[in-house]
């Protein structure tokens, strides 16, 4: 009887196979060899046939690194999928910035220039109400920097109803206290008045913090003062009002009437507004700090700012995103800014696309039909707000094979069906979606 181990191909023979040339070049010999060794182990244990070692190793290597996913969930800013998809212009800017770039060089003089000056200028132009602008890693970093600079060893006055958990178990109170600041909670979970803030302010107060509870709603007997009311209290006390807007809207969005925007809050009197760059702004992950020039400069020059600074790739992507957003807003055209395009997609056109895709799949022998759907902003933005959409309904059993395809397709399982919501799929992607479903059924 032949020992099955003798039939298992040698490592050097597998690596010499021309099919392994590209993986070796892309991933390196150590990683490819490890995949081959794992496939050989499976063959020794009888899990796979000896002749399947090369194919098994190649299959494992094909999943290496981040995989492209088609977002058909109907959630515009899906946190598990990296939130905002970048505009094509931002992707191109990343390619340029990947090499040598003038991130801290003034090419006209040959001397050192301010880091990211063109990106900061673009951000300042997008929010004229801001006297100064600065960028850090993310919105949490913006709050950490403000707490450290303005309230280290002092108090931050904050409403109990705004002591939020920001995701993955991280809680805003813990984040702020980690800087050495103390929290002075005011009001109750559902109601806080402007007098509550005024009564809490004292000699130890560093600043007042207003947090937009972006990922939940409290309904019923509720109340909280607006920015203008709080700004008046802070001016009388000579204290900064720091407002965490969260979702990254720079100006009002009619489709999301309850979502705060930086321009409005600054005009209403907030001294600093912080927000995320990878949410409704539609850019890379970063934290925006907008507001009074003197306060922004204090934060920019604080020693911690160095540890929180963004890299050249983020600066390049943000600048291109702001340009794409401005162009999209000015022309009302689609195709330049994915988040804006998805947010403003025409429901009538979405239904037409869903019917056409369902008909193609049915003709291919795959049961499918078009249904009305409801999409959401996601990313903690606009809780409770839904957007009329359309989806293709498939057998729920296809959800797994679609996730495991190439590209992976992520829909949502609802009422025993796998729904592919087209609001989060750009129209040119319909053909790819059709091919992915056919492959999943193969």
35 and 136 part of one domain: no
Tokens matching residue 345:
């997609």
Judged by phi (left if over 0) then psi (alpha if -120 to 50, else beta), residue 305 lies in alpha
In a domain, 286, yes or no: yes
CB 154 within 8 A of CB 181: yes
Tokens matching residue 165:
């958990």
Tokens matching residue 31:
């990683």
CA–CA distance, 282 with 289 (Å, rounded to integer):
16
In a domain, 74, yes or no: yes
CA–CA distance, 130 with 275 (Å, rounded to integer):
13
CB 182 within 8 A of CB 156: yes
Tokens matching residue 102:
């003038």
326 and 414 part of one domain: no
Judged by phi (left if over 0) then psi (alpha if -120 to 50, else beta), residue 270 lies in beta
CB 167 within 8 A of CB 194: no
CB 263 within 8 A of CB 248: no
236 and 154 part of one domain: yes
What is the DSSP-derived secondary structure letter of residue 185? E
Tokens matching residue 216:
């939940």
Tokens matching residue 68:
């492209």
CA–CA distance, 129 with 205 (Å, rounded to integer):
26
For 8, other C-beta atoms within 10 Å of its C-beta total 20
Domain count, the chain: 3
36 and 76 part of one domain: no
In a domain, 127, yes or no: yes
Query: In this structure, are strands 205-211 and 182-186 parallel, antiparallel, or unpaired?
Result: unpaired
314 and 369 part of one domain: no
In a domain, 199, yes or no: yes
CA–CA distance, 356 with 345 (Å, rounded to integer):
17
* Consecutive 10-residue averages of pLDDT for the chain (442 residues): 77 94 91 95 92 92 82 96 95 96 92 94 97 97 97 95 78 92 91 92 96 73 87 96 93 92 97 96 97 98 97 97 88 77 96 98 96 92 90 97 93 96 96 96 86
CA–CA distance, 145 with 176 (Å, rounded to integer):
10
In a domain, 196, yes or no: yes
13 and 140 part of one domain: no
Name the residue among 115, 52, 39 with its Cα closest to residue 300: 115
CA–CA distance, 343 with 102 (Å, rounded to integer):
34
319 and 383 part of one domain: no
For 13, other C-beta atoms within 10 Å of its C-beta total 11
In a domain, 336, yes or no: no
Tokens matching residue 409:
């397709």
Cα distances (angstroms) measured from residue 101 to each of 53, 105, 106: 44, 8, 11
380 and 296 part of one domain: no
77 φ/ψ angles, rounded to the nearest 5 degrees: -115, 80
Tokens 């340009």 label which residue?
323
158 and 286 part of one domain: yes
Sign of CA dihedral 55, 57, 63, 65: negative
Name the residue among 431, 433, 429, 406 with its Cα closest to residue 418: 433
Domain boundary (304, 331, 358) is at 331
Longest dimension (CA), the chain: 93
238 and 262 part of one domain: yes
Name the residue among 196, 187, 180, 198 with its Cα closest to residue 162: 187
CATH classification of the domain holding 360:
3.90.1150.180
Domain ranges, residue 250: 88-331
254 and 187 part of one domain: yes
- Supply the pTM of this predicted model: 0.87
CATH classification of the domain holding 230:
3.40.640.10
Judged by phi (left if over 0) then psi (alpha if -120 to 50, else beta), residue 351 lies in alpha
Beta bridge partner(s), residue 170: 167
194 and 270 part of one domain: yes
**For position 1, what pLDDT does the model report?**
47
Helix (H) or strand (E) holding 273: strand 272-276
206 φ/ψ angles, rounded to the nearest 5 degrees: -90, -45
Name the residue among 432, 419, 441 with its Cα closest to residue 72: 419
CB 217 within 8 A of CB 257: no
**For position 228, what pLDDT does the model report?**
96
């Amino acid at each position: 009887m032949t020992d099955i181990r003798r039939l298992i191909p040698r490592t050097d023979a597998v690596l010499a196979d021309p099919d392994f040339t590209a993986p070796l070049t892309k991933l390196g010999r150590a990683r490819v060899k490890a995949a081959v060794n794992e496939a050989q182990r499976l063959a020794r244990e009888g899990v796979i046939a000896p002749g399947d070692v090369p194919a098994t190793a190649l299959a494992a290597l094909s999943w290496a690194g981040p995989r492209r996913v088609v977002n058909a969930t109907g959630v515009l800013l899906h946190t598990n999928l990296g939130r905002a998809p970048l505009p094509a212009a931002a992707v191109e800017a990343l390619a340029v910035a990947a090499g040598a770039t003038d991130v801290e060089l003034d090419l006209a003089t040959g001397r050192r220039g301010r880091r990211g000056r063109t990106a900061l200028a673009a951000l300042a132009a997008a929010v004229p109400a801001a006297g100064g602008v600065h960028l850090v890693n993310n919105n949490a970093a913006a709050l950490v920097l403000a707490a450290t600079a303005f309230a280290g060893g002092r108090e931050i006055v904050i409403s109990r109803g705004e002591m939020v958990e920001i995701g993955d178990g991280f809680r805003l109170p813990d984040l702020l206290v980690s800087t050495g600041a103390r929290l002075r909670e005011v009001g109750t979970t559902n109601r806080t008045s402007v007098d509550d803030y005024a009564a809490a302010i004292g000699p130890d107060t560093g600043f007042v913090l207003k947090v937009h509870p972006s990922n939940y709603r409290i309904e019923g007997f509720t109340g909280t003062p607006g920015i203008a009311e709080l700004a008046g209290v802070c001016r009388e006390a000579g204290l900064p009002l720091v407002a965490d807007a969260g979702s990254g809207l720079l100006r009002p969005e009619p489709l999301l009437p309850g979502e705060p925007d930086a321009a409005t809050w600054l005009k209403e009197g907030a001294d600093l507004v912080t927000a995320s760059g990878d949410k409704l702004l539609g850019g890379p992950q970063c934290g925006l700090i907008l507001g009074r020039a003197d306060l922004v400069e204090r934060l920019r020059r604080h020693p911690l700012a160095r540890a929180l600074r963004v890299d050249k790739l983020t600066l390049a992507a943000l600048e291109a995103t702001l340009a794409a957003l401005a162009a999209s807003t000015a022309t009302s055209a689609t195709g330049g800014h994915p988040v804006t395009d998805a947010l403003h997609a025409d429901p009538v056109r979405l239904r037409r696309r869903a019917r056409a895709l369902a008909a193609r799949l049915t003709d291919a022998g795959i049961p499918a039909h078009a249904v009305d759907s409801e999409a959401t902003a996601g990313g903690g933005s606009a809780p409770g707000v839904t957007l009329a959409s359309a989806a293709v309904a498939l057998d729920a059993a296809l959800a797994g094979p679609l996730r495991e395809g190439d590209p992976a397709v992520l829909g949502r399982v609802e009422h025993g069906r796998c729904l592919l919501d087209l609001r989060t799929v750009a129209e040119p992607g319909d053909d790819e979606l059709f091919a992915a479903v056919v492959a999943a059924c193969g």
